[in-house]
Amino acid sequence: MRAIVEAKQVKKVYGSKGSVYTALDGIDLTVLEGEFVGIMGPSGSGKSTLLNVLATIDLPTSGDIVIDGTSIIKMKEEELSAFRRTKLGFLFQDYNLLDTLTVKENIVLPLALSKTNVTVIEQKVEAIADRFGIRALLDKYPYQISGGQKQRTAACRAIVSKPSLLLADEPTGALDSKSATELLESLKDLNEQDRATILMVTHDAFAASYCKRVLFIKDGKMFTELVKGQTSRKDFFKKVLDVLSVLGGGANDDI
């Protein structure tokens, strides 16, 4: 099984001289194709910083990051922009939908930017909307639908172009429990049926229990990991809670 993400000795340092903060301190990470991996840790642990450097939103101070066989460290901005568009899908807590576009137009955006054939676009949008149960909402605008429906729209947009890696940053953070469960079930199906590779930062043990593997970060370093294996989701949830209690929580977003 090939590696989709390989991070080697990744460091991220903020500030200079007298005021230095090390957010990531020599992180090593491998995510294989078809994995659903969660990243957890207490506030200030560096989990969001790690997602940002893997997402090419921020640059590490040192180390190497290879995504789908390509090192992203020395890419120029134009190359990074094309790389994000073709290789990465993003799912954020606040949806990042455009209110002036319909649900369908929001989903279509990545395909339109890559100049995909119109017939292919129609097929892909309908298929992905069916998968996430929002076919009936395609002509509505974001302000006309619920938070859960917005997040499922955002998920459709993130994966409609079949990226090598889906990066999710607290995707259930703004959702009620029913909407969160529906989204997580959809992501789980996407991972199991389409072998989508998903990396999700979350502070929520319930969300993490849907992952196949959970990495825990403390003070910018890898603390431990849990592998679900044949464990039931309910028992895996308890194991995640046990590790979080040792870590000291992780109930808030961090830097």
Quote the pLDDT of residue 249.
Answer: 52
CA distance 88 to 54: 10
pLDDT (average), residues 206-217: 97
Beta pairing, strands 198-201 & 70-71: unpaired
Sheet holding 62-67, edge to edge: 19-32, 3-16, 62-67, 70-71
Q: Render pLDDT for 108-122 as a digit per residue (tens, 0 to 9).
A: 988 877 777 888 888
Mean pLDDT over all residues of the chain?
91
CA distance 120 to 134: 19
Long-range contacts of 219-223 (CB under 8 A, 24+ apart): 219/25, 219/45, 219/46, 220/12, 220/22, 220/23, 220/24, 220/25, 220/27, 220/45, 220/46, 220/49, 221/25, 221/26, 221/27, 222/27, 222/28, 222/29, 223/41, 223/247
Q: What angle do CA 193, 115, 92 make, to 5 degrees?
A: 50
Quote the pLDDT of residue 218.
Answer: 95
CA distance 250 to 48: 12
Half-sphere exposure of 60 (CA within 13 A, CB side): 26
CA distance 44 to 218: 8
CA distance 116 to 203: 36
Beta pairing, strands 165-169 & 88-92: parallel
CA distance 117 to 164: 21
Quote the pLDDT of residue 190.
Answer: 92
Q: Render pLDDT for 40-97 as a digit per residue (tens, 0 to 9).
A: 999 889 999 999 999 998 999 999 999 999 999 989 989 998 898 889 999 988 888 9
Q: What is the DSSP letter of 135?
A: G
What is the distance between the terminal CA atoms of the chain, rounded to a whole angstrom? 32
Residue found under tokens 């947009």 = 157
Q: Which amino acid is at 226?
A: L
pLDDT range class, residue 251, cuts 50, 70, 90: very low
